[in-house]
Amino acid sequence: MKNTHILFVQLFVLLVGFRSIAQPNTDVYLMDMRRSSEAIVFENHTNISENAGYDNQPSFWSDSESILYVRNMEGQTDIVRFYFESSSTIRVSKTPGGSEYSPLMMPDGRVSSIRLDTTGLQLLYAYKLNGKNKVLVPDLKIGYHAWINEDEIVAFVLGEPATLQLVNVKSNTAKILSENIGRSLHKIPGTNAFSFVDKSSDNWTIRSMDPVTSEVKVLTDVIKGAEDYCWTPRGEIIMGYESKLYMWQSGSEWKEIADLSVKGIENITRITVSPDGKKLALVGSD
């Protein structure tokens, strides 16, 4: 009964997350991230989307000079790219009859993104920056994904139950690794491992897994009430809950590092740190 309930919650969250009509207004905020001798300081908070509707799921480009996110445009969500130096936004996708979600830079410089068509078809696609696209994984209904090398992703795959799978996009093969997981999947900086949220019990935990050996390690409990997190280049984890940011590093407990309510930012969800560790982006509302 517990597993059935967990599956229902996961599928409900996924469905709501992929239909902007059911979403409250959310925006993407960008800020500088500076380390002092005593703390991490967040400065120059900017709402880079400033747009009514569902703007969400930011991810940095590898050069730390731009960021991808999905933006509510003309009644659907499309991929856009925001450049820091010029403060300009370009549209990457414009798909008739379909909306994109969770865009990520691929190792080869393209963009991978989940597309949900108005027909209900939901697949992972690869996009060139001119908007041309093709199906990347044809046989799996993927909700969320993360690249771990040039050929493989880890993916939250919908089903009964929803599963964590290791997918080779070149050979179109997949291996089930776990069940009852969260949506936040990440490669761990400086390692071959990745991390995920295990929801198989009431006490949700962030775990690491070696994709070759399938060895799993428990890293830490999540901040109660939250599930989205990211890694810093130094190997720390940052989570957001309500208006606050928290940090964890191996051998320590969670520590509050910022309260963004003073900047009018509430209801923090998706969060990411740039590869150079100098910027943080998150989704919130004011």
Q: What percent of the chain has pLDDT over 90?
A: 85
Residue range 1-27+45-138 in CATH 2.120.10.30: yes
Domain boundaries, the chain: 1-27+45-138, 147-268
Provide the strand spans (E) within 122-231: 122-127, 133-137, 142-147, 152-157, 163-168, 173-179, 186-187, 194-198, 205-209, 216-221, 229-231
CATH fold match for the domains 1-27+45-138 and 147-268: yes
* pLDDT at residue 12, rounded to an integer: 41
- How much is the average pLDDT of 249-255? 95
> Residue 238 is encoded by which pair of tokens?
């940052």
H/E segment holding residue 255:
strand 255-259
pLDDT exceeds cutoff 60 at 9: no
* pLDDT at residue 23, rounded to an integer: 58
pLDDT exceeds cutoff 80 at 88: yes
pLDDT exceeds cutoff 70 at 238: yes
Q: What is the largest CA-CA distance in the chain?
A: 54
From residue 34, alpha-carbon distances to 44, 237, 244, 246, 257 in Å are: 11, 16, 17, 15, 12
* pLDDT at residue 22, rounded to an integer: 55
Strand partners, 205: 198, 221
- How much is the average pLDDT of 70-92? 96
Mean residue pLDDT of the chain comes to 92
* pLDDT at residue 82, rounded to an integer: 98
* pLDDT at residue 193, rounded to an integer: 97
H/E segment holding residue 14:
helix 2-17
- How much is the average pLDDT of 49-75? 96
- How much is the average pLDDT of 228-237? 98
* pLDDT at residue 24, rounded to an integer: 64
pLDDT exceeds cutoff 50 at 183: yes
Please tell me the distance from the alpha carbon of residue 201 to that of residue 199, in angstroms, as a whole number. 5
pLDDT band at 107 (very low <50, low <70, confident <90, very high): very high
Please tell me the distance from the alpha carbon of residue 64 to that of residue 274, in angstroms, as a whole number. 6
pLDDT exceeds cutoff 60 at 45: yes
- Return the CATH architecture of domain 147-268: 6 Propeller (2.120)
Q: Is the pTM of this model over 0.75?
A: yes
- How much is the average pLDDT of 92-120? 96
pLDDT exceeds cutoff 60 at 18: no
pLDDT exceeds cutoff 80 at 224: yes
- How much is the average pLDDT of 195-221? 96
- Which residue do the tokens 């280049």 mark? 233
Please tell me the distance from the alpha carbon of residue 154 to that of residue 167, in angstroms, as a whole number. 6
- How much is the average pLDDT of 22-47? 90
Q: Comparing 21-35, 76-90, 102-116, 185-199, which segment has the lowest mean pLDDT?
A: 21-35
